[in-house]
Amino acid sequence: MKTAEIAQRYLDYFEKNGHTIVPSASLVTDDPALLFTVAGMVPFIPYLSGDVPAPYPRAADNQKCIRTNDIEEVGKTPRHGTFFQMLGNWSFGDYFKEGAIRYAWELLTTSEADGGLGFDPKDLWVTVYEEDDEAHDLWRRLTDLPEERIQRLGKDTNYWSTGLPGPAGPCSEIFFDRGPAYGIDGGPATDDDRYVEIWNLVFMQYEITDVKSKYDFTIVGELPNKNIDTGMGLERIAFIKQGVDNMYETDQVRPVLDAAVRLSGKTYGADHDDDVRFRVVADHVRSSLMLLSDGVTPSNDGRGYILRRLMRRAIRSMRLLGVDGPTFATLFAASRDAMKDAYPVVADEYERLSAYALAEEATFLRTLAAGSENLDASIAAAKDAGATQIGGAEAFLLHDTYGFPIDLTLEIVEEAGLSVDRDAFDTLMQEQRARAKADARSRKRQLADTSVYRDFRAQGETIFTGYSDLETESTVLGLLVDGLPAQRATTGQIAEVILAETALYAESGGQVADKGMIVGPGFELEVLDVQKPVPGLVSHTVEVTSGEVGVGQPATSVVDAANRRAAQQAHSATHLVHAALRDTLGKSATQAGSLNRAGYMRFDFAWGQTLSEATKTEIEEIANNAVRDNLQVTTRVLPLDEAKALGAMALFGEKYGETVRMVDIGGPWSRELCAGTHVSSSAEVGLINLVGESSVGASTRRVEALVGFDAFRELAAERAIVSQLTSSLKTPKDQLPARIAELAASLKAAEKRIAQFEAKALESRLPELAATAQAVGPFRVVAQSLGTAASADDVRSLALQVRARVGAGAVVALGAQVGERPVVIVATDDVARGGGARAGALAKTAAAVLGGGGGGRDDVAQGGGTDAAALPAALDALTRALETATA
């Protein structure tokens, strides 16, 4: 049974049983405590907690998920995958334990011919929470499971919570017994891979607080409604129904594994370690493709870092399989073909998605090459010193700074006949992980408990009137002071105000929040921020500037009209620039993020190379031509499918409801899904002045522009600068570029002549410096400060010349101030090195006195620091080090 067929049978069954079928949410969640949708329940948290009224009493879905907390287990077990699909059925105050158990058992054990999944009851086991007698008795009454196949387990396995304050409850898990060939007898309690968990039924009935860990919390009481949250792993069902040993061999994953086998020339099933690598490649490539399809791009932090890590682990695994060159063109195409029937976007957007993947691969292959050079140097230094291993700190630096995988380091070092101080490396890794966990815990502690908004949201959605009105009369529904509900707020306090209606725009879609006031009888509130803490609810963060505001009072939201007008200009300009980019670069230049505020817009888009000046000028001209043409701006609210059929652009990673707001500028020329505020015609934008273009990733560029009066002010400032230059240089403005280039060339030539003069001046001191050589034990030492020098290279050249003139046993240390910083160059000859004088160690000694660092080869090395006045002391310290070495 194909994976897609299993999913369809599941959805068909629950639709037949009165469930609303909900499409999968994005892998990118708007939950501030999470980077990704890590479980099927994440999109439903507001309904399960009661913060937002559920739009349906019961639902079912197939939710895309990403989870990387067990990433080290990928490929080693039959069931661990970073991307997975979770089939779920949900009840929001409708049916409870009996309904959930009845539905699960019926679907699992009904024959395939009758639309079920066709599991034999004798292969199924069930676990329940040890104190949940009700669930135990229901399993006995509703099914033919014998007592010995219903196991009671503790809170660590059969009690569910997010680890944060909110909903929780006991759960019941259903397991499939793969048979004695896969492990020991004893059921799920053995925690053996023989028993595969396929379905978890969570009976969400309690609210918890004071959460110290997953198992240590306080139950406050029962939730307003008892809910059902279930999750059935689609990949786990697939590998069982397809008769394969693990999820990596199912129809949606195996094609990538097979492609990796062909590229490597190795055989799958012949070697355990290689098999794990093949599975890692198959899993990580699919996960990367799905993350890219939901708008995530590789970067060094947050979601982008997770994606980058997955890609680099796949590249590393292919390298360990013997493939050093690029492989993503083949692997990602194989994943696309395997996933496109279930997720058409991976085929429709493949040109864009693969561009990111191929760019990331090329970057990391260069990183591996650079890391290999650093590692080779560490190996050579270890061998020269007679060491048998390289330090853990060096291995960690390669891993942490250069992204060089530790197992690749171990492999290369082992081939060189050395080892790595793995204990030291592991200690540094543990310290880094501890810091990351502490940061994550801190972030969770700082999150507001959204349950405080529950009662406000239960009164309905906040009505936004700001598309047409800049003032709206309403009522204060609620107040929060210091994050807690309050009846009033007085002068000087910061509070959150919930209104039934508001004209103030809440930050979203790249557009920053409105500025403005909230006024009422006897009070004035300055609006500091406007946000949507839970879907459908607008919260205004305010400072009470006068009077006292209370719950139930009338209040009028007043938008700062000038700021709103400028923000609208910027947002509409963003749409114009997007359309101009697509006109100029093609349809693959899709949006990857934006920011709009009064007078300024920033737009990120998929593109892999710097824009030429001519291209930037063309984009700017197209956008301003659209302003000149005074194109009509229209908005429509319509079904999502209809908007997409009309060609409306949707931002990847954004969530859209069944109905959407579509913004047209000039008809289909610019047609995007957008909830922001806009001008009524393009001429109102005024002027768009592109002021910046830069890279924000391997395949993402950013353009920045000033808009409206801010754009005019920038151009006026530039005009003033040009006027000043024409006056100072007595050159017409059209000849300024040539004149400035001429002056720059003259300056460069003068600097070159000065540098030559200073170098000759230094060289003229050669006999004088050589004559200062003093005997220190077996060494002839020159340790002199030169004053100032044009460059460290000049000092290095002179040190080498002095070394040649001094003769056998020469140790030359010359110090100079180069610019604002001191530098010391140390040069030794063969005889001196034979006596133990190594330039690198001596340079470090001097640099320590200068407040910096240094090092290098044994024959020539350099040190530096920040304290130029300490140069004489640094040279004295170097000389004393030689005296100590010869004592």
Q: Which pLDDT belongs to residue 445?
A: 41
Q: Residues of 770-787 as b/e, b for ≥16 C-beta within 10 angstroms?
A: beebeebebbbbbbbbbe
Percentage above 90 pLDDT, the chain? 61
Provide long-range contacts, Cβ within 8 A and 24+ apart, for 419-425.
419/388, 419/389, 419/390, 420/389, 420/390, 420/392, 420/395, 421/389, 421/390, 421/391, 421/392, 421/395, 422/392, 423/392, 424/391, 424/392, 424/393, 424/396, 425/392, 425/393, 425/395, 425/396, 425/399
Tens digits of residue pLDDT in 855-871: 888 999 999 999 999 99
Long-range CB contact pairs, 796-800, < 8 A, 24+: 796/825, 796/827, 796/860, 796/862, 797/759, 798/762, 798/763, 798/765, 798/766, 798/769, 799/825, 799/826, 799/827, 799/860, 800/827, 800/860
- pLDDT range class, residue 195, cuts 50, 70, 90: very high
- CATH numeric code, 765-886: 3.10.310.40
Lowest pLDDT segment from 248-252, 627-631, 879-883: 879-883
| Average confidence score pLDDT of the chain | 89
Least confident of 74-78, 341-345, 471-475, 866-870: 74-78
Q: In this structure, are residues 360 and 698 in contact, taking their beta carbons and an 8 Å threshold?
A: yes
Check if CATH label 3.40.50.620 holds for domain 564-709. no
Identify the sign of the CA torsion 208, 450, 161, 458: positive
Q: Where are the beta strands (DSSP E) in 405-522?
A: 419-420, 463-464, 471-481, 484-486, 488-490, 494-499, 501-502, 516-520
**Alpha-carbon distance values, 520 to 468, 499, 564 (Å):** 21, 12, 22
> Beta strand 633-639 with 659-665: parallel, antiparallel or unpaired?
antiparallel
Give me the mean pLDDT over the 141-156 stretch.
94
Q: Give pLDDT tens digits for 314-330.
A: 998 998 899 989 999 99
Report pLDDT for 447.
Answer: 40
Query: 3-class SS at 840?
Result: helix
| Interatomic CA distance for residues 511 and 677, integer angstroms | 8
Alpha carbons within 13 A on the beta-carbon side of 117: 33
The CA-atom distances, in angstroms, between 330 and each of 47, 230, 256, 310, 815 are 42, 37, 9, 17, 56
Asked if the model's pLDDT at residue 107 lies above 70, the reply is yes
> For residue range 118-128, what is the model confidence (pLDDT) as tens digits?
999 999 999 99
Of 290-294, 298-302, 338-342, 749-753, the range with the lowest mean pLDDT is: 298-302
Residues 829, 805: Cα–Cα separation, whole Å: 11
Lowest mean pLDDT among 165-169, 239-243, 720-724, 768-772: 165-169
Give the residue, 279 or 79, on which the prediction is more confident.
Answer: 279
Convert the pLDDT of each residue in 536-570 to its tens digit.
899 999 999 999 999 999 999 999 999 999 999 99
Cβ 139 vs Cβ 128: under 8 Å: yes
Report for 624-633, 636-645, 689-698: range of highest mean pLDDT: 624-633
Burial of 647 (0-12, 13-18, 19+ CB in 10 A): exposed
pLDDT tens string 620-632: 999 999 999 999 9
Phi-psi region of 723 (alpha: psi -120 to 50; beta: other; left: phi over 0): alpha
Across 111-120, 294-303, 340-349, 625-634, least confident range: 294-303
Residues 230, 223 contacting (CB under 8 angstroms): no
- Beta-bridge mates of residue 390: 420
Q: Which residues does 763 contact at the CB level (< 8 Å), separation at least 6?
A: 798, 801
Binding residues: 571, 575, 674, 678
Query: pTM of the full predicted structure?
Result: 0.68
Q: Which residues are bridge partners to 817 per DSSP? A: 788, 822
Which two structure tokens, joined as six digits, stand for 247? 């999820």
At how many degrees (to 10) do helices 871-886 and 839-850 cross?
140
- The CATH number fitting domain 450-547, selected from 3.30.2310.20, 3.40.50.2300, 3.40.50.300, 2.40.30.130: 2.40.30.130
Binding-site residue positions for Zn(2+): 571, 575, 674, 678
For residue 403, the model assigns a pLDDT of 67
Q: Specify the CATH superfamily of domain 3-243.
A: Bira Bifunctional Protein; Domain 2 (3.30.930.10)
pLDDT digits (tens, 9 = 90+) for 415-439: 788 888 888 888 888 887 676 556 5
Domain extents in the chain: 3-243, 252-363, 387-447, 450-547, 564-709, 765-886
Q: Residue 402's pLDDT is what?
A: 64
| Owner of token pair 């002045």 | 689
- DSSP assignments along 359-405, one per residue: HHHHHHHHHHHHHHHHHHHHHHHHHHTT-SEE-HHHHHHHHHHH---
State both tokens at 52: 């937002």
CA dihedral 683, 685, 689, 695 (to 10 degrees): -130
